[in-house]
Amino acid sequence: MKALLKAAPGAGFEWTDRPEPEAGPGDVKIRVLRTGICGTDLHILGWDDWAASTIRTPLIPGHEFCGEVVEVGELVHDIAVGDLVSGEGHIVCGMCRNCRAGRRQMCIRTIGVGLHRDGAFAEYIVIPGENVWVHHTPIDPDLAAIFDPLGNAVHTALAFSVVGEDVLVTGCGPIGLMTIAVARHAGARFIVATDVSPARLELAMGMGADAVVDVTRESIADVQHVLGMREGFDVGLEMSGSPSALPSMIENMTHGARIALLGLPSDPFAIDWSKVVTHMLTLKGIYGREMFETWNSMSAMMQTSPTLRDRIASTISDRYPAREWETGFAAAKSGGVGKVILDWTQV
């Protein structure tokens, strides 16, 4: 099969032939149809310090995908050959305290598809049956391929109730944009989004934001006054990882506000802990998706809300045949686009 391979430490991938993976009794083999390019994949491509400390080569990367089931292990139930599926990229141990308590997203031994074992940048992938998500209603394969990042957005947006609440979203990359759309769908009152890119701020308005703030030129506090807000935001969704985003967010939250943090900073930074304490703020880290309640929520929303479905699909800006992966990765690296999709039916 054709695959993108990180053959050895260092920058770059190889477009090469690899043996097709074999499915065990508890596994499902999937013919990959589409993959999304994630920021993690860019780190692996460029071989930065994080990649060098995390990735063991040789490795086929890629964890955002959809495909068609071609083989089902004898111990797998409720999945059939021909099903259109996506994959949960976190493979858990099933035996640690969190796994046994049903908190599998908090497994202490999580293995990442495309990070610690071969991933989806190939014509075929094998994952455990329990990690396969079957799409029981019609869905565009491009959209099915981005259920992984959509899950991050849904997990973050629904970490706290947003019904009737004023929500501040910092960072309008693809997942931040999805988060705006989900918060709007879930019943937020005012949604304000911040970024430094005018193009992304324009996209945020299309996702359902009531106002946007270019933090290089405008003040979040001023926008609050324009909207008629009196006491600050009730819920904060930090999606950027920018060192200035969380301190700025804390300055604009009401007493007792709740903040969900998905953005991953590259370096430590200081925040005003006295305000966190005296204003009784709640900060919650978000990693991946709840398994599998987030997946249930995603599928239900995509099935029942055409408006939300269209907004999420609109975050996909570029599509390339898999054989043109270099062009696709260059587009994703440029930072001026939404989600980039590779089509693995064109190799």
Place of tokens 């879930």: 186
**Of 283, 228, 280, 241, residue with least CA distance to 260:** 283
Domains 2-146+315-343 and 157-285 share a fold: no
Q: Which of 35, 43, 63, 135 is catalytic?
A: 43
Place of tokens 């099933």: 94
> pLDDT digit of tens for each residue in the chain (347 aa)?
999 999 999 999 999 999 999 999 999 999 999 999 999 999 999 999 999 999 999 999 999 999 999 999 999 999 999 999 999 999 999 999 999 999 999 999 999 999 999 999 999 999 999 999 999 999 999 999 999 999 999 999 999 999 999 999 999 999 999 999 999 999 999 999 999 999 999 999 999 999 999 999 999 999 999 999 999 999 999 999 999 999 999 999 999 999 999 999 888 999 999 999 999 999 999 999 999 999 999 999 999 999 999 999 999 999 999 999 999 999 999 877 889 999 999 99
Residue 185 known to be catalytic:
no
Residue 43 known to be catalytic:
yes
Is the bond into 58 cis (omega within 30 degrees of 0)? yes
**Of 61, 68, 71, residue with least CA distance to 329:** 61
DSSP string for residues in 155-172: HHHTSS--TT--EEEE--
Joined together, the tokens standing for residue 53 give 């400390």
Q: Which of 16, 35, 40, 345 is catalytic?
A: 40
DSSP string for residues in 100-127: HTT-GGG-TT-EEBTTTB--SSBSEEEE
Q: Domain 2-146+315-343's class?
A: alpha beta
CATH architecture of residue range(s) 157-285: 3-Layer(aba) Sandwich (3.40)
Place of tokens 């975050």: 315
pTM for the model stands at 0.95
Q: Which residues partner with 193 through β-bridges?
A: 169, 212
8-state DSSP, 334: H
8-state DSSP, 322: G
Every domain of the chain and the residues it spans: 2-146+315-343, 157-285
